[in-house]
Structure 1
Amino acid sequence: MKPGDDRVDTEHIFGFSMGSDIGKQGEIELEIENIGRFGKRFGSYTGIGVLSQVKFVLTDNFRVAPGVSFASTQTNGVPGMIDNRRTALAGASMEFRYKVLDRDVMPFGLTLHAAPAWNRVDELTGLDIQTYGSELAALMDKELIRDTLFATVNLWFSAGASRELSNEWCRDSELAVNAALSYKVGPDLIVGVEARYLRAYDGLGLDRFVGDAVYLGPTFSTHLAHNVGLSGTFSTQVAGKAAHDHQHLDLDDFERHQAMLRFNYLF
């Protein structure tokens, strides 16, 4: 739901997944997205990433959103990771979204997303790093029951090159397929369920498979006030495997739990 609008805006009703709506021309919106990652196979791990964006809807089909990110990491006794406890300014990004199909007049909605970014701190480890990368996505949604039941499918691709303290460059990429259903249970509340499949690779072009994970969890979206929205999800890894490990779940490349809480303020 878009704060201040009775019409259901699908962008943030699906958890990590996104709907195709981008807002109306002239709108300016502040968004603060908090993502938490919790749990490895051994030791203690908590990673929190905060992305603050200001969204400018330039036309009904095009939006830009500059942002800055912060990272807070606590690791202790996790194999392959340095024990660390740190909170820092992590980096900056610029998001672009272009609505290709409007679901009000087409069979489904489709928006293309691109977000180049630079980071000076690794949000996963909390260590100093120089990272240049981008994510690309196709966001599709459909209104199954008018003003009541909504569905989305997302295709995400991200890739980046990082230079660690050793001055050695490493390159990686990730592919994700998301699907979610959301149901409007009241004037200001939408609840749903989301499933995500993630695959991690070495190399910028999905070169060498590293591991995969399946996450499942509930979602919600609500209005706190006329122009204030809150949405979120908590998902758990229910399946997965690292390429080099026979154990159930991939807790080397991914976490046991991932959560998101998002705050939106429409000016």
Structure 2
Amino acid sequence: MFVSGILSFPHAVAAATIVASQLASCALALADDKPGRTYGTPRGPLSHAASKPAQNLPSAHAEIDTEHIFGFSMGSDIGKPGEIEVEFENVGAFGKRSGSYAALANLNQVKYTVSDNFRIAPGFSLSGQHISGVPGLADHRDVAFSGAALELRYKLVDRAVAPFGLTLHAQPGWSRIDDATGMNIAQYGAEFAALFDRELVKDRLFAAFNVWYGTGGTREIVTNLWRHDSEMQLQAAISYAVQPELLFGLGIRYARAYDGSGLDRFLGDAVFAGPTFSYSISKEVGISGTWQMQVAGKALGDNRSLNLEQFERHQALLRINLHF
């Protein structure tokens, strides 16, 4: 179970939101021309070489920040030492077998890159649901503060000097609201991931492969009963730079849901696929996202096509990043 993270999918990741008001206010506040970096400027250890002659750079691998160019999948870049980044991430889910279903999970983080290889990012989350007539779920409509999380990332292999990049991700978290149902809960868990990426064509074509594992325990406030669940995902994505600041791509994810915190009893799986984009509005403001639909899946004991028990028909993401 992914707890308050990019992929918070214990019973369904929550639903996308359009954060135009956030973007507008942040863009106005950062509209000056002070130095900064964009998704098309160097970051990571190689960025220290920006003032050196071009022939001293080991490669062009670090010229595009790969962290957010793959939609749900993540690149290995973590920023340069001392960098501060504010991120508004909105993950969403739409559509069940019948009825009306939409949910939202919003994670707001402040990221601080401590060194070339290590970054820390505390954050808090909001969630909202609009559920009506969905079998097995109570009708619910609300938006509330839902929890907190602490993201830790360690860059194990630097793609600037190696054939590929590899960053390890860990994110413990706590939730008081079930993102999928809106129920009051006490949830404790964590997600872990290995984030691989590689530049396939210099300055143009990039690929990523992620392995994600989430686990946690949840106590329902109304019944005082505990449940434990977990999830594993394999993700792959490719992204092409039309311009240094504008990239389009395609992402695909295979997700497996389990009862039990250690991938104990298989409940169902799903495959999602869809387009991705990333755009640097300015040196300080970047926006990225994806919309993916379930193209295959099965729930245990259900012969119908698609898995609409643990997952949804559509999952989407819209992310805004501010760099300081």
TM-score over 0.5 for the alignment? yes
**Gapped runs of 5+ residues in structure 2?**
1-36, 43-62
1:261 matches 2:318? yes
Which aligned segments of 4 or more residues in structure 1 are displaced greater than 6 angstroms?
Answer: none
Q: Structure 1's 187 and 105: CA in aligned 2 closer, same or farther, altered over 3 A?
A: closer
Q: Where do 1:108-257 residues align within 5 Å?
A: 108-164=164-220, 165-257=222-314
Distance 1:184 1:4 in 2: 9
Distance 1:104 1:33 in 2: 27
Partner of 2:78: 22
* Matched letter for residue 159 of structure 2: R
Maintained 8 Å contact 1:3/1:228: no
TM-score normalised by L of structure 1: 0.98
Q: Larger % of strand: which?
A: 1
Root-mean-square deviation (CA, aligned residues, Å) is 1.0
- 1:188 Cα deviation after fit: 1.6
Deviations 1:180-230 (A, max 9, x none): 000000132000000000000000000000010000000000011121000
Maintained 8 Å contact 1:182/1:191: yes
Distance 2:319 2:309 in 1: 26
* Matched letter for residue 41 of structure 2: D
Deviations 1:42-84 (A, max 9, x none): 1110001100000000001000000000001011111111110
- Aligned residue for 2:163, secondary structure, equals coil
Distance 1:258 1:51 in 2: 16
**Gapped runs of 5+ residues in structure 1?**
none
| Count of paired positions | 267
Partner of 1:83: 139
Distance 2:39 2:213 in 1: 29
- 1:5 Cα deviation after fit: 2.2
- Aligned residue for 2:227, secondary structure, equals strand
Higher-Rg structure is: 2
Q: Larger % of helix: which?
A: 2
Distance 2:255 2:38 in 1: 28
TM-score normalised by L of structure 2: 0.81
